[in-house]
C-alpha cells in the first residue's frame, strides 16, 4: 500500500524551496488549510437548510445562520489572525481589507493575503462546486512601519504562493510557491489533505473551451471569431471542441487544468473590464496556470505583470493551455 503524504508533511519537506524564513509560509498555508476544512464542513451541510433553517433564521442548535460567503470570510480571517504570520487580508467580502498588525501576535507579521473566501457562491444552493482562491505576498515595508499602498498593490509576479480550494465531489487544495503545482485531496475519514496530484501540468493543447456564451453578442469580435473556430468541424485540429462552463471559476479552471482547455471571461460592452477580480481571482489562478505550464493573459498583457491600481480591480481573463490561449490571441490580433 502506498503511504499517505499529508499537506502538513509536504509543506515541511518543501520548506527549503522557500527563500525566506522557514516555517512562516508553512504556518500560513497550514492556517489556510485549517480554515478550508471548517468551510468545507459548512458547505457540505448547505443542502440541509430546510432542516437546519435558512440564512437569517435561528437554526435548531440556536445558532444564527449566516450566508456561507460571509461565514467563509470570517473563518479565513480568524485563522490568519490566530496564525500570526499575516498583517493584512484583502478579501472580496471586505471593501477596505482588514489590517491585522495591531492585533496581538500579528504585529510582527510579514505577509499579505488576498482571498476570495467563497467564489461562485450562487452555485451553493444548487449543489454545484464552489471554491476559495488565495494569493500570498510578502510586505515590502519593514515590520513596525505602517503598511503602504506599495505593500497592498503588488504585481502578481511578486506572489510568494497562491492556491485554491475546490469544494466539489471531493474537496481539494491546489497550491504553488513558484516551484510547480501540487494538489491535495481531503480524506474526510482522517480530516487531512493528502497529496493526490503531485507536479500538476496542464496539457499544452486541450479540447475544452469555457466561456459564458450567453454574453456572446457583447463580446469583442476576436472572441466571437474564436468561439466560431471552436465550433467548426476540422479533423486535423480535432474540432469542434467541447464547451464546458460551470460558472464557478475554480471548478472551470480545475477541470481545464487536469484535462486541457481555455477559460475566457472577456470584457463586454456592459463590463468593459470584464467581471473577474485581479487581486484574488485572476492573479492567483494565473500563477497556478503558469506554474503548471499554461498561459494567462488579459488579451493585451500578461496578467501577472499588471500593475494593480486598486484592491477590487477587474480584468479580462484568458487562461489555460498555452496553444489554445495563443490561438485566442491570434484571433484578437486579427480582429
- The three cell numbers of residue 201 are 501540468
Q: Which does 121 bind (CB under 5 to 8 A by kind): Mg ion, ligand AHM, none?
A: ligand AHM
Residue span binding ligand AHM (CB under 6 A) among the ranges 16-24, 201-209, 243-251, 320-328: 243-251
Residue 257 interacts with ligand AHM (CB under 6 A): yes or no: no
Pairing label, strands 171-176, 317-320:
unpaired
Please list, in sequence order, all residues whose beta carbon lies within 8 angstroms of the beta carbon of residue 20, skipping any fewer than 6 positions away: 110, 138, 160
Nearest of 116, 324, 62 to residue 210 by alpha carbon: 324
Q: Is 187 annotated as a binding residue?
A: no
Nearest of 25, 24, 21 to residue 175 by alpha carbon: 25
How many chain residues touch ligand AHM (CB under 6 A)? 11
Q: Nearest approach, Cβ of 75 to ligand AHM (angstroms)?
A: 17
Helix intervals (H) in the chain: 7-13, 24-44, 49-52, 68-83, 149-152, 221-231, 249-259, 283-291, 322-334
Q: Is 116 annotated as a binding residue?
A: yes
Residue 19 interacts with ligand AHM (CB under 6 A): yes or no: no
Element (H, E) at 291: helix 283-291
The 98-99 sheet, strands edge to edge: 98-99, 86-91, 111-119, 130-138, 161-167, 171-176, 181-187, 192-197
Residue 283 interacts with ligand AHM (CB under 6 A): yes or no: no
**Cβ atoms 98, 92 nearer than 8 A:** no
Residue span binding ligand AHM (CB under 6 A) among the ranges 39-47, 102-110, 174-182, 246-254: 246-254
CA atoms of 33 and 40, how far apart (whole Å) = 10
Residue 121 interacts with ligand AHM (CB under 6 A): yes or no: yes
Cβ proximity to ligand AHM, 80 vs 253, nearer residue = 253
**Cβ atoms 299, 328 nearer than 8 A:** yes
Cβ proximity to Mg ion, 129 vs 182, nearer residue = 129
Q: Which does 212 bind (CB under 5 to 8 A by kind): Mg ion, ligand AHM, none?
A: ligand AHM
Q: What is the DSSP string of 298-310?
A: -SSSBGGG----S
Cβ proximity to Mg ion, 255 vs 314, nearer residue = 314
Residue span binding Mg ion (CB under 5 A) among the ranges 109-117, 155-163, 195-203, 298-306: 109-117
Which one of 31, 69, 85, 116 is in contact with Mg ion (CB under 5 A)? 116
- Nearest residue to Mg ion, using CB? 119
Contact pattern for ligand AHM over residues 206 through 225, marking x by CB under 6 A:
------x-------------
Q: Is 245 annotated as a binding residue?
A: yes
Helix intervals (H) in 122-201: 149-152
Which one of 33, 84, 117, 120 is in contact with ligand AHM (CB under 6 A)? 120
CA atoms of 34 and 173, how far apart (whole Å) = 11
Which one of 69, 119, 192, 290 is in contact with Mg ion (CB under 5 A)? 119
Owner of C-alpha cell 463590463: 271
Q: Is 120 annotated as a binding residue?
A: yes
Q: Is 96 annotated as a binding residue?
A: no
Q: Compute and round to an integer the Cα radius of gyration of the chain.
A: 20
**Cβ atoms 289, 236 nearer than 8 A:** no
Residue 275 interacts with ligand AHM (CB under 6 A): yes or no: yes
Binding site as annotated, residues for substrate: 119-122, 212, 245, 275
Positions in the binding site for ligand AHM (CB under 6 A): 92, 116, 119-121, 212, 247-249, 265, 275
Binding site as annotated, residues for Mg(2+): 92, 116, 118-119, 281
Positions in the binding site for Mg ion (CB under 5 A): 116, 119
Amino acid at each position: 500500500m502506498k503511504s499517505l503524504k499529508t499537506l502538513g508533511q509536504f509543506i515541511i519537506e518543501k520548506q527549503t524551496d522557500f527563500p525566506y524564513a522557514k516555517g512562516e509560509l508553512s504556518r500560513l498555508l497550514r492556517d489556510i488549510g485549517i480554515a478550508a476544512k471548517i468551510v468545507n464542513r459548512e458547505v457540505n451541510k448547505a443542502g440541509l437548510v430546510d432542516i437546519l433553517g435558512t440564512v437569517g433564521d435561528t437554526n435548531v442548535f440556536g445558532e444564527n445562520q449566516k450566508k456561507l460567503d460571509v461565514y467563509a470570510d470570517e473563518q479565513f480571517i480568524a485563522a490568519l489572525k490566530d496564525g500570526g504570520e499575516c498583517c493584512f487580508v484583502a478579501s472580496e467580502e471586505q471593501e477596505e481589507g482588514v489590517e491585522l498588525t495591531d492585533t496581538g501576535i500579528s504585529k510582527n507579521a510579514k505577509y499579505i493575503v488576498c482571498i476570495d473566501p467563497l467564489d461562485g457562491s450562487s452555485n451553493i444552493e444548487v449543489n454545484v462546486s464552489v471554491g476559495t482562491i488565495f494569493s500570498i505576498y510578502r510586505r515590502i515595508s519593514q515590520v513596525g512601519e505602517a503598511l503602504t499602498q506599495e505593500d497592498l498593490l503588488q504585481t502578481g509576479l511578486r506572489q510568494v504562493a497562491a492556491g485554491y480550494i475546490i469544494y466539489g465531489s471531493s474537496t481539494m487544495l491546489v497550491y504553488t510557491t513558484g516551484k510547480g503545482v501540487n494538489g491535495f485531496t481531503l480524506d474526510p475519514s482522517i480530516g487531512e489533505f493528502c497529496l493526490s496530484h503531485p507536479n500538476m501540468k496542464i496539457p499544452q493543447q486541450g479540447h475544452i473551451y469555457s466561456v459564458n456564451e450567453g454574453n456572446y453578442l457583447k463580446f469583442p469580435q476576436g472572441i466571437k471569431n474564436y468561439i466560431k473556430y471552436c465550433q467548426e468541424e476540422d479533423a486535423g485540429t480535432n474540432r469542434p471542441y467541447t464547451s464546458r462552463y460551470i460558472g464557478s471559476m475554480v471548478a472551470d479552471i480545475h477541470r481545464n487544468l487536469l484535462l486541457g482547455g481555455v477559460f475566457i471571461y472577456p470584457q463586454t460592452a456592459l463590463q468593459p473590464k470584464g467581471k473577474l477580480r485581479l487581486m484574488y481571482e485572476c492573479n492567483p489562478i494565473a500563477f497556478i496556470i503558469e506554474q503548471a505550464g499554461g498561459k494567462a493573459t488579459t488579451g493585451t498583457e500578461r496578467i501577472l505583470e499588471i500593475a494593480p491600481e486598486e484592491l477590487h480591480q477587474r480584468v479580462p481573463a484568458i487562461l489555460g493551455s498555452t496553444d489554445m490561449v495563443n490561438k485566442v490571441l491570434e484571433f484578437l490580433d486579427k480582429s
